[in-house]
Amino acid sequence: MAASQPGAMFIAGGTDLVPNLKRRQFDVPALISLSALSGMRLIAGDAKDGLTIGAGATLDELAHHPALNGPYRALAQACDLVSTPQVRCMGTLGGNLLVDPRCNYYNQTYSWRKAVGFCLKKDGDICLVARSSPRCWAVSSSDSAPVALALNATVVLHGVGGERRIRADDLYKDDGIDYTTKRADEVITSLHVPASKERMTSAYWKLRRRPAFDFPILGVAVALSWDDGMVQTARGALGAVGSRPVDITPFLGPLTGSRPDDRLIAEVADGADKPARPLDNTDLSHYWRKRMTRVYIERALRDACGLPPVEGRLSAQVKASSM
């Protein structure tokens, strides 16, 4: 398919790729459209048998799809919170899973970057966020990625070498430049969310300055499976706190076998923000983003447990979570 044109990139919705082309972050000899591939928009299955979602399904379709208003609700919430309605009508799930990691020193025009000095990620040789760092710290800014981890989803890739199925967790690498294990000739064709034997609930909470536009500066996805009011398994992941989505499942352990109440959820949230290490390279201060991680984990867990939001003022960044 693609391997004959070195450097060529695939285009689906184009909402991440085209702005990057215009700002000269990407410099490609050719674009290969995925819009003619058949079956890429198929959504099939249910919570009993597992759900397969074509990577070409638009975010708008997923935000309102009936298959996603039960146990997999977090995915619909995440898709519904991506950017603007226009972008959601164009952008696809596959594209959102692979959003190019973002950074204040990278997502700028060519002339801005030239004036400030180019960074490691494009045209330069040092990271402007951490100058002595040998690696790039651009931030994983996908809303659907942490949800894919929390739901323990499988990503199906097709390339020259045939089909490959990997866990969503294995799709990402902790590097702002070399951020995915997807090979250049491969395309994500679908996402498979496994069935849940028990009752399952999930939730996604997103922090950003402008609720109608922005990329996440923090995303929290959680998924709980239940048996008779007791939590059987608890999985979770954070978005936008590192160069890849961060698994917080080990920190949610105390929920297993419990009937979560206000106190337990607050305690769990207290420890679960540990792996979040936001740097000063996205919107708003990184100290505040770190503090909000605990708050948003608590809110997401309460949401998944069907408890009302925490008492006190909810910040303007919060979109009504009821669906």
Partner 1 sequence: MSIADKVVVRLRVNGEDTAIMAPPYKTLLEVLREDLGLTGTKHGCELGECSMCGVLVDGKPFLSCLAMPLDLEGREVTTIEGMPRGRELHPLQVAFAELGAAQCGYCTPAMLLTAKALLDREPRPSREAIKDALSGVLCRCTGYLKIFEAVELAASRATRG
| Residues making contact with partner 1 (CB under 8 A) | 11, 14-15, 18-19, 22-23, 31, 33, 35, 60, 83-87, 89-90, 212-213
The gap between the terminal CA atoms of the chain, to the nearest Å, is 41
Nearer to partner 1, 111 or 133 (CB): 111
Q: What are phi and psi of 119, to 5 degrees?
A: -105, 170
Nearer to partner 1, 60 or 273 (CB): 60
Residue with tokens 């045209």: 123
Nearer to partner 1, 89 or 166 (CB): 89
Nearer to partner 1, 84 or 104 (CB): 84
Rounded Cα gap, residues 276 and 245, in angstroms: 10
Cβ within 8 Å of residue 64, ≥6 positions away: 76, 80
DSSP class of residue 58 equals B
Contact 155, 163 (CB under 8 A): no
Q: How far is CA 12 from CA 98, 113, 117, in A?
A: 11, 27, 31
Nearer to partner 1, 69 or 86 (CB): 86
CA dihedral 181, 1, 59, 49 (to 10 degrees): -80
State the nearest-atom distance from the C-beta of 84 to partner 1, in Å: 3
Nearer to partner 1, 34 or 150 (CB): 34
State the nearest-atom distance from the C-beta of 163 to partner 1, in Å: 25
State the nearest-atom distance from the C-beta of 233 to partner 1, in Å: 34
Would you list the DSSP string of 60-112?
Answer: HHHHT-GGGSSTTHHHHHHHHTSS-HHHHHH-BHHHHHTPPPB-TTTSS-HHH
State the nearest-atom distance from the C-beta of 81 to partner 1, in Å: 12
- Three-state SS letters, 248-284: CHHHHHHHCCCCCCHHHHHHHHHHHCCCCCCCCCCCC
State the nearest-atom distance from the C-beta of 172 to partner 1, in Å: 24
Instruction: Give SS3 for 240.
Output: coil
State the nearest-atom distance from the C-beta of 148 to partner 1, in Å: 23
State the nearest-atom distance from the C-beta of 29 to partner 1, in Å: 11
Nearer to partner 1, 14 or 275 (CB): 14
